[in-house]
């Protein structure tokens, strides 16, 4: 089975054409403070060292503004296509050094992050200084089925 980074971390490869989120979970206490004005620099503090450069590079190359996690989370396939070969070891089809033990815990982090941004979209970026990719994000969403749970 080929693992997908955002798939491993959040959804699965089949979710690339589906925006899925749980409103109740997205609005859990502490999420707003954790994700408001989130930047890539702040986010990579939460991932293993072996993934930091891969995450940083993918955030600059997937078509979204670097610090726009609302966009990165809906642009799952493009992001995964950049991160996977960088982070995964050769036995998982990549050229990276991350182990499944290192990548496993990141799944919960990404699931929480993308659930929050898929549910709140750009409300967490109101009055934030970073550039955003709202047009790209909305064009991706227009092509996807949306599944909302509570």
Exposure letters 79-93 (e unless 16+ CB within 10 A, then b): bbbbbbebbbbeebe
Query: DSSP label at 90?
Result: G
Report if pTM > 0.85: no
By the 10 Å C-beta count (0-12 exposed, 13-18 middle, 19+ buried), 110 is classed as buried
Contact 132/125 with Cβ under 8 angstroms? yes
d(CA 116, CA 118): 6
- Residue-level pLDDT at 18: 63
- Residue-level pLDDT at 7: 39
- Residue-level pLDDT at 13: 35
d(CA 75, CA 71): 6
């Amino acid at each position: 089975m080929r693992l997908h980074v955002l798939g491993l971390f959040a959804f699965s490869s089949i979710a690339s054409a589906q925006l899925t989120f749980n409103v109740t979970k997205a609005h859990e206490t502490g999420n707003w403070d954790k994700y408001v004005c989130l930047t890539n620099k702040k986010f990579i503090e939460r991932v293993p060292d072996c993934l930091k450069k891969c995450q940083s590079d993918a955030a600059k190359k997937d078509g979204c503004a670097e610090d726009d996690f609302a966009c990165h989370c809906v642009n799952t396939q493009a992001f995964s296509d950049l991160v996977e070969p960088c982070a995964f070891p050769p036995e998982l089809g990549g050229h990276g050094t991350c182990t499944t033990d290192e990548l496993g815990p990141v799944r919960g982090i990404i699931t929480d992050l993308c659930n929050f941004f898929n549910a709140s979209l750009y409300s967490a970026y109101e009055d934030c200084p970073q550039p955003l990719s709202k047009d790209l994000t909305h064009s991706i969403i227009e092509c996807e089925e949306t599944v909302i749970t509570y």
